[in-house]
Amino acid sequence: MAREADEKTVLGSVWLRPEPDETRAPLSRDDIVRATIEMLDRDGLEKLSMRRLAASLGTAATSALYWRVANKDDLLELTVDTVLADALVPADEGDWRDRLTVLAGAAYDVLAEHPWASQLMASHAGLGPNYQAYADRLLSILRSAGFKGVYLDAAVSAVFHYVVGAAVTDAAWSATVRRSRLTESDWANAAGDQLGIAAGTLTAYLNRADSAGPAARFQTGLRAILIGLRPRQLI
């Protein structure tokens, strides 16, 4: 019994433990995960609590949640992996750079839609099935392009770390603006003078629809990385 408790503590991930036994609890794990994602999208990571989550699901008892998830960290791991399912898009057309562009863009869009997810990737390892399936797709495309061994691993890291890094940076800017309770334009006008940046330039930098905004910068940076990855020079 002591060994089982130690393993639960040491392994530290919901994906390294069996699912809880069946119970008569009215809430399913999927119900809880869906409600958590909705709350995180609406209120952000800082305001998530098991008590608030239980209330949103129509129960005053947090114990109703713990029948399905052992703790808050387990729940956060489940939510991150759930949203990553949307990044598993078809990427079968074009050369290997075209295919990676599609996959990288899909993951970036998911993390932009759920900015809390990129924050969690710094503290919750990617051990879930959707994360692993995404990494396998990157590996398959790069392997077919001729990358091998340690260089294959390095190329996967270059692409995925860029995606996550770009998403984290965008989320940090968005969080700063959100905390101010101003619109992006009003925040840029108020902060531009202190930062020594023209308000119009700062507004464009923050606006995802702008040709100088986060999405456009992401695509430009991704192209630079993919052009720099040359399997013939690495093998």
Instruction: Name the percent of the chain lying above pLDDT 90.
Output: 53
Question: What's the confidence (pLDDT) of residue 33?
Answer: 94
Q: Which amino acid is at 224?
A: A
Q: Is the Cβ–Cβ distance between 148 and 214 less than 8 Å?
A: no
Residue 24's pLDDT band (boundaries 50, 70, 90)? Answer: low
Q: In this structure, what token pair is assigned to residue 52?
A: 């608030």
Residue showing tokens 């700063």 = 176
DSSP 14: G
Over residues 173-192, mean pLDDT: 89
Given pLDDT bands bounded at 50, 70 and 90, which one contains residue 155? very high
- pLDDT at residue 165 above 80? yes
Task: Classify 90 in phi/psi space as left (phi over 0), alpha (psi -120 to 50) or beta.
Answer: beta
Residue 222 has pLDDT above 60, yes or no: yes
Q: What single-letter DSSP state applies at residue 21?
A: P
Confidence check: pLDDT of 113 > 70: yes
The pLDDT, as a whole number, for residue 9 is 52
pLDDT tens per residue across span 46-61: 899 999 998 998 886 7
* Closest to 206 in 3D by CA, of 232, 233, 180: 180
Tell me what pLDDT residue 14 has.
76
pLDDT band for position 209 (cuts 50, 70, 90): confident
Average pLDDT of span 112-126:
86
Hunting for tokens 């839609």 — which residue is that? 113
List the end-to-end C-alpha distance of the chain, in Å, as a whole number.
Answer: 49
Mean pLDDT along residues 192-205: 89
- Which tokens is 186 given? 């009003």
Query: Is the pLDDT confidence value at 100 over 70?
Result: yes
Q: Is the pLDDT of residue 8 over 90?
A: no
CA distance 188 to 191: 5
Dihedral pair phi/psi, residue 13, rounded to 5°: -150, 140
Question: Is a pLDDT exceeding 50 seen at residue 193?
Answer: yes
Q: What is the pLDDT of residue 146?
A: 93
What's the pLDDT at 23?
61
Chain centroid to CA 135: 13
Residue 64: its pLDDT value, please?
A: 79
Residue 210 tokens, joined: 């702008």
- pLDDT for 27 equals 82
Is 70 exceeded by the pLDDT of residue 22?
no
Alpha helices for the chain (secondary structure H): 2-11, 29-43, 50-56, 63-66, 72-84, 96-113, 115-120, 129-144, 149-180, 184-195, 199-206, 214-228, 231-234
pLDDT at 4: 46
Whole-Å CA distances, 87 to 106, 169, 218 = 5, 19, 16
pLDDT for the residue numbered 1: 41
User: Tens digits of per-residue pLDDT, 63-77?
Assistant: 878 778 888 989 999
Q: Could you tell me which of 16, 174, 14 has the C-alpha nearest to residue 79?
A: 14
For residue 11, what pLDDT is reported? 67
